[in-house]
Amino acid sequence: MEYIVSARKYRPMTFDSVVGQEALTTTLKNAVKSGKLAHAYLFCGPRGVGKTTCARIFAKAINCSNPTADGEACGECESCQAFNNGRSYNIFELDAASNNGVDQMKTLMEQTRIPPQIGKYKVFIIDEVHMLSAAAFNSFLKTLEEPPSYVIFILATTEKHKILPTIISRCQIFDFDRMTVPNIIAHLKQVAEKEGITYEEEALGIIAEKADGGMRDALSIFDQVASYSQGNITLEKVIEDLNVLESDNHFRIIDLALENKVSDIMLLLNDIINKGFDPGHLINGLAAHVRNVMMAKDAATLPLLEVSQQQKEKFQQQAQKCPTKFLYAALRLLNNCEINYRQSSSKRLLTELTLIEVAQLTQEDEDVPGSGRRPARRLKTLFKKLAAAVSPKSVSQVTEAKKPETNDKQATTGQLPPQNVPTPKKKINLKESLISLKNLNKKEETKEEEKLLINQDEQNKFTQDDLEKAWYAMCSRMPRQMTATAMRLKNIVPKIADYPNIELVIDNQLLIDEITPIKGRIQATMAKDLHNGSINFTLRLAEIGETKIALTKKEQLEDMKKSYSPIKKLSDALQLEII
């Protein structure tokens, strides 16, 4: 059975089945019912919103012998049947993008001289009419000004401003609206139910947002994701297939900014960049996110959010936590970053500075204004924990060491030291400070590793084969800067020691030292891929003779040729060789 893409299979055939253009289709149906038809129509709007589809439905209804009471074509008369079968001689379509010369237009105008043999009107649909050359427009203008009574022109365009004013003034203009996200989601639900495809509403919401107001684009993306997910469209599959930056990253950045957690934001930014996303893409998305949070603070502006209902609820929840001043200031900073991004020679640094400033908007000022003067604009302290990490004992020891001596006379008479002797200041031992900061960073890294395991409740069963496949896939996805580590990890075969515990037998201590810092991330990744949050990785140094040297591709082929004679015969016959 021939496969038909959803954009064609579910193309509307009646006015009532057109999505999101109710006012426009009602006007066209009323024109059919009353018989008050103009000789030229101009359909304008963005791509994929139904301009050509409505033109075909309108042309079919105009020539219908028995239109319904509400202005729809009957679909049963000879004219409707001819149109449905693609053999109508009264309805002509011209693609002006590929037939934009004066000769093609003259040929079309010649056809207007012949009256219709069946039906009332000859309808000429000219798609992408703005692509016509100036000479073609001039050739068309005279016929458009005084057409025969049985001729109707329907022009469609995505760029109305490129059409000559003399053409526009002779047409009835219909402006098509962009499809709203709720309308697209509702239509995708209908298509999914008809095709027997399961879905998550948030996943359809991402498809609708990605389509940018075009139903045709939405259906094309829907087909792509349905094929990738094998008929089960989930949020995770949509994000993987479309390489979309998950909106949860934006929510998390704003939550961290409200808590002034600059370090966490920097780590999150690094993860996003390592996944292949441009920092400018993050800034653009975050600016749109902050705008949506602002709209969600007021019930009157809530309808301005073109997102799914679940996303609206999440925006409302975050809006309750965000002060209005914070949102205004954050939006201004992000907008300035967008303006300066293209000219910046260090785009990542610009992004980091912007996010640092956003994270400090709710932090108390450390500068105290004096004499009516405004404190200098500067970044606030990022490492307040450093002072707390320094031992009070070390501070007191330094202070005692620097305390001024008093003589016996001062002690017996109770006299104070001279006023011109400065009181010693407390000093922080630099070495102890660096050690404390290092220990603090280790604690933060440990906390970060603990956060990585997000599926502790999953207990999916897995086999040794599943483990090896997931291991190789993880190594192939590792960041570019870890290419050498990834190659070494591919030579290690993980083993299920005591299910679900996994053992890595490594032939040298240096590789163990290299893997140990990222062990937590490896474990979290494998837990997610295997859908089992109970797995635990252990590293063990191999005993003498326990591990084998990894074979090269050429050595593997030679080994296979020795073990399997058919492979040797095939290799010799085709003269196969790995170079």
Give Dmax over CA atoms of the chain in angstroms. Answer: 130
CA distances from 354 to 23, 169, 329 (A): 44, 49, 11
The rounded distance, in Å, linking the Cα atoms of 275 and 176 is 38
pLDDT of residue 195: 87
* Token duo for residue 319: 């809006």
pLDDT at 390 over 60: no
pLDDT of residue 545: 63
pLDDT band at 290 (very low <50, low <70, confident <90, very high): very high
Helix (H), strand (E) at residue 125: strand 122-127
pLDDT tens column, 151-208: 899 999 988 888 888 888 888 899 988 888 888 888 999 899 988 889 888 888 888 8
pLDDT of residue 253: 92
pLDDT of residue 370: 40
The answer regarding whether domain 247-359 maps to CATH 1.20.272.10 reads yes
Positive or negative, the CA dihedral 478, 482, 486, 489 is negative
Q: If you average pLDDT over residues 413-441, what whole number do you get?
A: 49
CA distances from 443 to 151, 252, 260, 448, 451 (A): 79, 21, 18, 9, 13
Q: Which positions ≥6 away from 347 have C-beta within 8 Å? A: 278, 279, 280, 341
Q: What is the mean pLDDT of the chain?
A: 79
pLDDT of residue 439: 56
- Between 117 and 387, name the one with better pLDDT: 117
pLDDT of residue 70: 84
Q: If you average pLDDT over residues 423-436, what whole number do you get?
A: 50
CA distances from 231 to 183, 198, 243, 364, 530 (A): 22, 6, 19, 51, 21
Q: If you average pLDDT over residues 360-367, what whole number do you get?
A: 71
pLDDT of residue 329: 92
Q: If you average pLDDT over residues 449-454, what whole number do you get?
A: 58
The rounded distance, in Å, linking the Cα atoms of 147 and 171 is 12
Which CATH topology does 181-242 take? Helicase, Ruva Protein; domain 3 (1.10.8)
Annotate 410-464 with DSSP letters as a single string. HHHHTPPPPTTSPPPPP---HHHHHHHHHHHHHHHHHHHHHHH---TT-B----H
pLDDT at 233 over 70: yes
The pTM assigned to this predicted structure is: 0.55
- CATH no. for 6-175: 3.40.50.300
Range with top average pLDDT, 75-89, 254-268, 294-308: 254-268
pLDDT of residue 391: 45
pLDDT of residue 397: 47
Cα torsion 77, 80, 86, 91 to 10°: value is: 120
Q: Which positions ≥6 away from 475 have C-beta within 8 Å? A: 486, 487, 489, 490
Residue 381: DSSP 8-state: P
The rounded distance, in Å, linking the Cα atoms of 480 and 276 is 10
The rounded distance, in Å, linking the Cα atoms of 427 and 421 is 18
* Token duo for residue 78: 């000879």
pLDDT of residue 417: 47
Q: If you average pLDDT over residues 111-128, what whole number do you get?
A: 84
pLDDT of residue 505: 87
Helix (H), strand (E) at residue 348: helix 347-359
pLDDT at 529 over 60: yes
Which stretch of 98-107, 353-362, 395-404 has the lowest confidence by average pLDDT? Answer: 395-404
| 3-state secondary structure at position 179 | coil
pLDDT at 388 over 80: no
pLDDT of residue 436: 56
- Between 413 and 577, name the one with better pLDDT: 577
pLDDT tens column, 94-110: 888 887 788 888 888 88
The rounded distance, in Å, linking the Cα atoms of 421 and 369 is 30
- Between 576 and 114, name the one with better pLDDT: 114
* Token duo for residue 1: 């059975």
Give the closest residue to 144 by CA, choosing from 109, 120, 116, 174: 109
Helix (H), strand (E) at residue 502: strand 501-506
pLDDT of residue 411: 42
pLDDT band at 452 (very low <50, low <70, confident <90, very high): low
pLDDT tens column, 37-93: 888 999 998 888 888 899 989 988 888 888 888 888 888 888 888 888 878 878 888
